[in-house]
A and B are shown apart, each in its own frame.
Chain A
Amino acid sequence: MSVAEAEFIRPLPESKAVPKLSSGQGKPVLTEPAWVRYLLTAIALLFIGLFIGLPLVIVFVEAFRRGWSTYLAALTMPDTVSAIRLTLQVTAITVVANLIFGLAAAWAIAKFEFRGKSILISLIDLPFSVSPVVVGLVFVLLLGRYGLLGPVVQDLNLQIIFPTPGIVLVTIFVTFPFVARELIPLMQEQGTAEEEAAISLGASGLSTFFRVTLPNVKWALLYGVLLSNARAVGEFGAVSVVSGHIRGETNTVPLHIEILYNEYQFAASFAVASLLALLGLLTLIAKTLLEHRLEGSSNEH
């Protein structure tokens, strides 16, 4: 699993201004001996270093083992370029689709009462609890040539499984909770009063959405997009099942890395992998910055 593929779960906001329990001359009550604190910190650091830091370093070390020119050559190989292009296409479609779906779902769930709302809420989380490989298989069984909807798909003269549409579909499926899950709690907390105020002041539904609803959730929305983007780029399991693995045509970056690796082109495979790792690091930085923003905006009220 690449870094980009890792699921980011937002940590709980750090509780601020927790009063220090103190006794007597300002000495904190809740404290451990120094050696306990150092030991715990050391264990945590060692663990992180061993399981996260080291692999990350190795990716880059292996990528550059044969030198800069080999690295560049691996990245400019036609098959690599086409894999990158496909991944970018799939990601772009996925993110836009999830942006629209996530906003619509969050809007419906947070601002309206309707039948089946609780079912919708639990369905949104489904992709998190199903293995991506299973997702891929389901889509093959559904839309493949001998699948349930296979005849329909063939009558329409479409081929979904193996070329790009299948990849897009499973990627959307796998990443769709990210945006909705970020937005729902925030929108629920904000309620509908501001929208009502806007409408009573003469704003139309559309202008209420763009002037009030959207600005109020923009940071959470961006956060959700960031996470679904990271996941879409790195998705392997589901894509692997539905992709035809045709080089230069239906290979995404993660699939391409696997093929290169299986062909003993280690330097090339690590070079491409380093791209994903880099993207993961960038995502991490952007995520940290956004978390600051998010905390800021939720403290405003």
Chain B
Amino acid sequence: MSIDIVGVTKRFKNFTALDNVSLHINGGELVALLGPSGSGKTTLLRIIAGLDWPDAGEVRFDGEDALSRSVRERNVGFVFQHYALFRHLTVFENVAFGLRVRRGPGKLPEARIQERVNELLGLVQIDWLAERYPAQLSGGQRQRVALARALAISPKVLLLDEPFGALDAKVRKELRRWLRHLHEEVPVTSVLVTHDQEEALELADRIVVMGRGKIEQVGSPGDVYQNPATAFVHDFIGETVALPGEVRGGRLYLKKNALALDSQGVPDGPAQILARPHEVDLAEPDTAPFSGRVLALRTFGPNRRADVQIAGPDGNLVVEASVPLDRKIEVGAHVGLLPQRYRVFPAARA
């Protein structure tokens, strides 16, 4: 089922959680809403589910108005951030809940319910936990129960609110792969909310980057990483080295010195030159656009980073550059920085 969100706005008192947001989600797609906390991504998810109502705008499922239907009638599977499992029910009864509360012609006979629940528990690989209570499960197991419970009602849309947020790093990675795999088996339209870029990049067909109640960019994982549309997206996804500059007459300057870099069509005014740390090379101080003194060196795993203090338009600033492990360099050395690949954006801050 496809989802259309048209001009949705939501305010909480003085805070605008969503500001005229429009988005199209294709049927069978797995979309990630990615953004920092307060970006409005969870609010958008809850509006799609029917747990919140927008102040303005439309939500359509397959072209039909969804706002006129309550959450009960929308047939969405919602996986809550802390799972919200029913603590007084066994795993089996948790999964069966949506089938047991059904009324009217859709109500299944007991034998069918049993069959369906066992099938789902098998699908999420926890059939051996059927008689346990939520308190007796690990985080990863609870996550699977929450998913099976949401899938039990054969939802047309699956909504996941920070599904791996409460898990430790290793379990998270494992479940992520598993969820992707599951999505291929059960290709229900899925929307996932996360603040973890790695999660979004690995899982989603498309990523919707959100910041301060607006959509900053929609694109494939490769797209948002390689070609960020705004400085916000560049900064939020992947690591960023921000270098100062100013565009004058279509050329980049740092104070009085012309930089041998392309201004990428950015209009005159203060600018930001953004690059990935591994795409900023160390170079000869005299020839490189930026140069400065190494303040500190850090090595973690395969990476080595140098804090380099360079002269900015208003005082010194410290940027992080990546240094090959085999390169000889010492704290206090004077080095040049040459961005190989970079994006120029108008500076947001004066």
A contact set with B: CB distance below 8 Å: 193-194, 196-204, 207, 211-212, 215-216, 297, 299-301
Contacts and interface: CB of A to CB of B under 8 A. Distances in A.
A199 B80 contact: no
Among A201, A212, A297, residue most surrounded by chain B Cβ atoms (within 10 Å): A201
A191 to B, nearest CB: 8
Contacts of B98: 201-203
Given A211-B86, A212-B86, 6 more contacts: A194-B87, A196-B80, A197-B85, A199-B71, A201-B150, A201-B152
Contacts of B76: 200
B61 interface: no
A212 B134 CA distance: 14
Nearest to A296: B135
A196 B84 contact: yes
A297 B135 CA distance: 10
Contacts of B69: none
Sort chain B's interface into a size bin. Answer: 20 to 34
Contacts of B149: 197, 201
B173 interface: no
Interface of B: 49-51, 71-72, 75-78, 80, 82, 84-88, 97-98, 101-103, 133-135, 149-150, 152-153
A202 B133 CA distance: 22
Contact of A194 (B50, B77, B86, B135): B86
A200 B135 contact: no
A301 B139 CA distance: 12
A203 B72 contact: yes
A176 to B, nearest CB: 27
Given A196-B51, A300-B133, A301-B135, A201 B97 contact: yes
A297 B50 CA distance: 31
Among B88, B102, B135, B152, residue most surrounded by chain A Cβ atoms (within 10 Å): B88
A216 B101 contact: no
5 contacts: A200-B71, A200-B78, A207-B101, A212-B86, A299-B135
Nearest to B98: A201
